[in-house]
Structure 1
Amino acid sequence: MRCLTLRRRTAISTTKVLAQRTIPTGRRAGRKSTRSLNRPSMVHCLHRCLATFSPRRRFPLLKWVPKYSLHAFGYDTIAGLTVGLTVVPQALAYAQLAGLSVQFGLYSSIMGGFVYCLLGTSKDITLGPTAIMSALIAPLVHGDVVYATILAFLCGCVQLLLGLFQLGFIMDFISEPVIKGFTCAASLIICVTQVKNLLGLQDIPRQFFLLLYHIFAKLAETRPGDATLGFLCIIFLLLLKVIRCKVEDVDSLTVKIAKKITWLASTGRNVLVILAAALVSFAFSSFHLQPFVITGEVQPGLPTFHPPPFSEERNGTVITFSHIVQDLGTALLVIPLVGFMESIAIAKAFARDNKYPVDPSQELIAIGTTNIFGSFLSAFPVTGSFTRTAVNSQSGVCTPAGGLITGVLVLLSLQYLTPCFYYIPCAALASIIICSVAPVFDVFFIRDLWRVKKLNMLPFVLTFGLCFYEMQIGILVGVAMSLIIALYPLTQPTVMVCYTGPVVVLQPRGALLFLGAESFREVIQSKIRQVEPQLSVILDCSWLSSLDYTAVITLRELQAALQAQRLRLAFVALHADVLDVLLRADLPELRHFESVEQALSWMLGSQDTEYHLDVHSGI
């Protein structure tokens, strides 16, 4: 229990007594307040966008191009070529994961390097197809390129608008347990969906639980060739991933060359696997044998640049743009956010390691523009890739110009290498996908989360579990549960209660918002009813950080109830923004004082009495 003593003086100066502020309630003041409150929000947002516009901010290349050097160009070229060797096999595999022909993975890999070089703020990140994004869109597009292209266009529009209106902070509403719940579930789902390609099984549905059932039901139909090749590819990929030279650093040219070769083999392991598997498949085909399920015909050449088709004809029926949008539904909100979530998490991680800043809103603009222009090349939605970004950073990239080299390499692959894609076994592509996403399942995070805060396991478990039914639902429910957990304390505001004679002093802590307005009213009314005679109220607002409209209505009703009982209400130590809200609300006879002493002087008049402020409870 804490006790504060206040001694009243017999003589109080007129200036201190008049320290109160009485707010006029006439119609003129009310009209002025209404005009101030009703400023159009869209105009305000546009004004904010224009006020923050800067060519160097909107086009970050203007910052690094004047300082670009031949030394940086050399490192960017090496990094771009290295990433290109990684992106080509991954793009083929991720297109297959999305249920599309493999060339669409390469189409989706073109624009990322070129656009991000102009608009991106991270030197390390690379944009393109990813396993999680491909798995997310697969059940939405059902192998339909038109749906995938329109989805990329609309996702890009959403991301671009969010970036232009400086809404990059929206990612703060997605908690780490939700992100981890989604990524862990996605890694398991992706691995299980690739088992059918690893074993050469046919006619397997996409829905997770049906897929599991049909895989076990058709195990007897496993193709020995695909299964053998698939597991050999996984073993080869794992060996190349963990292999490192154990030799100590010495000034030996032979050792340095050996280490470089080992690093290149480990980095380009996906290319080596695809190349070896395709050669084996071609060798069998030369003897008119084919023990593998292969990719088959791939459309050769570069894609044509044209606007995305906003309708299509299927079985003699025209499917309109509005019908496609209706089919995509909540995915038009979830997929842009997931894409940005994946990309900004990667960008921030590498920016933190390499000590440079990234702008989340500008990253939204870069990703959105990439998806919009990518849709003109029949691309599906893309985002930042962790594996390729890691390769890019380890290769010593200096600027986003490395993406230009990667983009050129993808174009050359489309122009000259598409005939070679015919012989790539699907089991080899499945092995690449499995080895890429399996490490995403973070067991240590689950252990730490349970140890640190068990309540946060709830959004993790909900997100993780529901993603097996439908990923969008899992993410939305997880976000909703995280917000409920975060907002619940606001429904029970902390209020310190003190008494002094015929006055109760209440000190609300934190924000007083609509969530806790009713609870706050009940606290005040219960404290007033506990004592006879009933008490006047002083609100000590020195710890009150913010106030919303519902809370203002609650205060107005409280003031009216007290006045009906001939009791008084006074405010103390209001912060400037809180006071401004109350001024605009035109509370009748709003009394504001700088201290509790001044408020008591006004309430108690000139009585020469000693009072004690006793803290009774914190609610």
Structure 2
Amino acid sequence: SYFLSLFPFITWIYRYNLVWFSNDIIAGLTVAAVVIPQGMAYAGLAKLAPQFGLYSSFVGVIIYWFFATSKDITIGPVAVMSILTGTIVDDIHKLYPEYDYHVIASALAVVVGCAVCALGMFRLGFVVNFIPLPALAAFTTGSALNIIVGQVPVLMGNNKSFDTRQSPFLVFINFWKNIRFCNYNAILGLSALVLLYSIRLFCTYAIRRYPRREKLFFFLNTLRTVFIILIYLFISWLINRHDPTHPHTAILGTIPQGFQNMAVPTIDRTMLSELVTYLPSAIIVLVIEHIAIAKAFGRINNYAIDPNQELIAIGVTNVLGSFFGAYPATGSFSRTAIKSKAGVRTPLAGVITGIVIVLAIYVLTPVFFWISQASLAAVIIHAIGDLIIGPKTLKQFWRVNPLEFLIFWIGILVTVFSNIENGIYVCILTSLLLLLYRFGNAEGKFLGQIQFVSEREKRNVYISMNHSDGTNPMIDPVEMNDGIFIYRIYEDFLYPNAANYMEKLVEEVF
């Protein structure tokens, strides 16, 4: 039973059939078309060369299916984890220049993978439930703003005159101070961004207008990133083909063929001591993003996932991925949504995606040389924009609990004026403080007695004396006899709330 829980594919692989295979091929090819440009773009956020995004994309889909309990989720480079990885490797590289960026990133994948795998082995997946939705929304929205502000200078061709690794607030100010240094890349970047949103709006309208052609417009919408990359790759080639060594617009440049960075990760005492300080934030991002996505699509498609097994899956994937040169990867919301909509039937679709990525690594790297960096920035901004929480959700936060609404804005402000790592810690800390506050100030109610009469019985019922529980205000409960009172507590009677309960009891009784 334990062995089967570690390798869930054993429970369904013997029932695999051609119908499932055809659906998995379609889903796998669709995800591959999206993950290749996204992977190369997100690698830049991690301060790594584009090929490392391809390595992470390949390992994520080729290993995860062995351990997966979710048929929909796709493991690979994601924006938030990439920007956090970039911050970590940049900080460590400044202290120890002898460590290359990709060496630090691979070591981070091993350390965080082992930690997450241990959480799954010890069945600690429930800890995710202690983080409320507003805190999650705050760090995803704050991270999205951080990434977008950091990519605007690249989009406009103005990323050389100042440091884009500063806080988003400073990057935004410095961009406007140095806006005169923008160049022809801005034309490519802005037009690519406009086209991406135009295609999406058109396809969304067309699906409503022509429901019989929903599949056609779905795939057109899904592949819009590929179309834009190809169009601007061709434009970039036309502009720079005569002098590729001194291009007129920023291009991706040479990408080595194959897995050139396969090696045993370098983890010595110095490296480990530095990585441990960043481990909490990396684990939080890796775990929360993956589990939240897996649970959401499990509910949508009517199946249950095992959070602990999912932790083992992403842990093993990251540990093994580091030997291929991959950096930390987790579940991607956008690619998971595409995979689900494409009709995936089993996690084996990841193998199809992996095969296509391998072909790209070995065959298409000469073509990738001409990809416009401004168009990649447009792809990142377009993909990240959906992570920003809208007014409707904010209104719900306020109506449910104003304190949680406050947590959201605290997390946003810290992320924007500081960095993602501090934003994560503040969101978690304020959430825990709110949890303790609620538990320590748990409410209790004094109950009065009314007589309930029906055809079958007559009995006494006890309701709140002040009707704060929503009972009919026209019914007046009777107080108990002298010396007797009934007090209902709504939380466990423990030391954080014992004093609060006793104060209310003493105040009422004496």
After superposing the two structures, state which structure 1 stretch, 404-413 or 471-480, moved more: 471-480
Within the candidate set 177, 187, 199, 1:217 is matched to 177
Aligned to 1:428: 375
Structure-1 separation of matches of 2:494 and 2:260: 54
Change (3 A) 1:207 1:355: same
Which residues of 2 match residues 8-47 of structure 1 at below 5 A?
none
Aligned to 2:191: 232
Structure 1 residue 387 displacement after superposition: 1.1
Structure-1 separation of matches of 2:181 and 2:444: 68
Aligned to 1:481: 430
After superposing the two structures, state which structure 1 stretch, 130-139 or 71-80, moved more: 130-139
**1:407 is matched by which residue type in structure 2?**
G
Does residue 242 of the first structure (1) align with residue 201 of the second (2)? yes
1:203-250 per-residue CA deviation (whole Å, 9 max, x = no partner) reads 431112332232112100101x20000011111111222223466466
Structure-2 separation of matches of 1:166 and 1:116: 19
Secondary structure at the aligned position of 1:420 is classed as helix
Q: TM-score, normalised by structure 2?
A: 0.84
Change (3 A) 1:482 1:228: same
**1:264 is matched by which residue type in structure 2?**
F
Structure 1 residue 360 displacement after superposition: 0.8
Aligned to 2:37: 89
Aligned to 1:146: 103
Aligned to 1:176: 133
1:243-280 per-residue CA deviation (whole Å, 9 max, x = no partner) reads 23466466xxxxx6xx6554433211111111111111
Contact 2:157 2:374 in 1 (8 A): yes
Does residue 458 of the first structure (1) align with residue 406 of the second (2)? yes
Does residue 341 of the first structure (1) align with residue 276 of the second (2)? no
Does residue 190 of the first structure (1) align with residue 139 of the second (2)? no
Structure-2 separation of matches of 1:442 and 1:485: 21
Change (3 A) 1:233 1:167: same
Aligned to 1:207: 166
Structure 1 residue 197 displacement after superposition: 0.6
Structure 1 residue 363 displacement after superposition: 0.7
Aligned to 1:287: 242
Secondary structure at the aligned position of 2:369 is classed as helix
Contact 1:492 1:519 in 2 (8 A): yes
**2:440 is matched by which residue type in structure 1?**
T
Change (3 A) 1:352 1:287: same
Within the candidate set 304, 307, 315, 1:360 is matched to 307
Structure-2 separation of matches of 1:365 and 1:332: 17
After superposing the two structures, state which structure 1 stretch, 236-245 or 193-202, moved more: 236-245
Aligned to 1:512: 493
Structure 1 residue 496 displacement after superposition: 6.4
Contact 1:141 1:147 in 2 (8 A): yes
Structure 1 residue 172 displacement after superposition: 0.7
Structure 1 residue 108 displacement after superposition: 0.6
Secondary structure at the aligned position of 1:119 is classed as coil
Does residue 105 of the first structure (1) align with residue 53 of the second (2)? yes
Structure-2 separation of matches of 1:440 and 1:249: 27
**2:175 is matched by which residue type in structure 1?**
I
> Higher helix proportion, which one?
2
Change (3 A) 1:322 1:446: farther
Structure 1 residue runs without a partner (length 5+): 1-52, 251-255, 311-320, 528-615
Percent identity over paired residues = 35
After superposing the two structures, state which structure 1 stretch, 301-310 or 407-416, moved more: 301-310
After superposing the two structures, state which structure 1 stretch, 286-295 or 162-171, moved more: 286-295
Change (3 A) 1:127 1:522: same
Secondary structure at the aligned position of 2:492 is classed as strand
Contact 2:146 2:420 in 1 (8 A): no
Structure 1 residue 422 displacement after superposition: 1.4
Structure 1 residue 56 displacement after superposition: 2.3
Within the candidate set 204, 229, 242, 1:274 is matched to 229
**1:515 is matched by which residue type in structure 2?**
P
**1:395 is matched by which residue type in structure 2?**
A
Aligned to 1:394: 341
1:420-479 per-residue CA deviation (whole Å, 9 max, x = no partner) reads 221111101000000001121112211221233212112111211111212222222222
Structure 1 residue 518 displacement after superposition: 4.0
Structure-2 separation of matches of 1:275 and 1:179: 35
Aligned to 2:421: 472
Contact 2:139 2:423 in 1 (8 A): yes
Secondary structure at the aligned position of 1:281 is classed as helix
RMSD over equivalenced CA pairs, Å:
2.4
1:480-514 per-residue CA deviation (whole Å, 9 max, x = no partner) reads 22222222233245566899778988765531222
**2:157 is matched by which residue type in structure 1?**
G
Moved over 6 A (4+): 496-507
Secondary structure at the aligned position of 2:257 is classed as coil
Structure-2 separation of matches of 1:361 and 1:506: 39
Which residues of 2 match residues 504-583 of structure 1 at below 5 A?
509-519=490-500, 526=506
Secondary structure at the aligned position of 1:88 is classed as helix
Aligned to 2:18: 70
Structure-1 separation of matches of 2:342 and 2:260: 29
**2:233 is matched by which residue type in structure 1?**
A
Within the candidate set 349, 366, 374, 2:321 is matched to 374
Structure-1 separation of matches of 2:340 and 2:444: 51
Structure-2 separation of matches of 1:471 and 1:280: 35
**1:458 is matched by which residue type in structure 2?**
L
Does residue 165 of the first structure (1) align with residue 122 of the second (2)? yes
Contact 1:302 1:411 in 2 (8 A): no
**2:51 is matched by which residue type in structure 1?**
Q
Contact 1:94 1:129 in 2 (8 A): yes
Structure-2 separation of matches of 1:397 and 1:55: 25
Secondary structure at the aligned position of 2:491 is classed as strand
Structure-1 separation of matches of 2:193 and 2:34: 16
Aligned to 2:96: none
Structure-2 separation of matches of 1:405 and 1:493: 53
Change (3 A) 1:272 1:494: closer
> Higher strand proportion, which one?
1
Structure-2 separation of matches of 1:508 and 1:174: 24
Structure-2 separation of matches of 1:298 and 1:95: 12
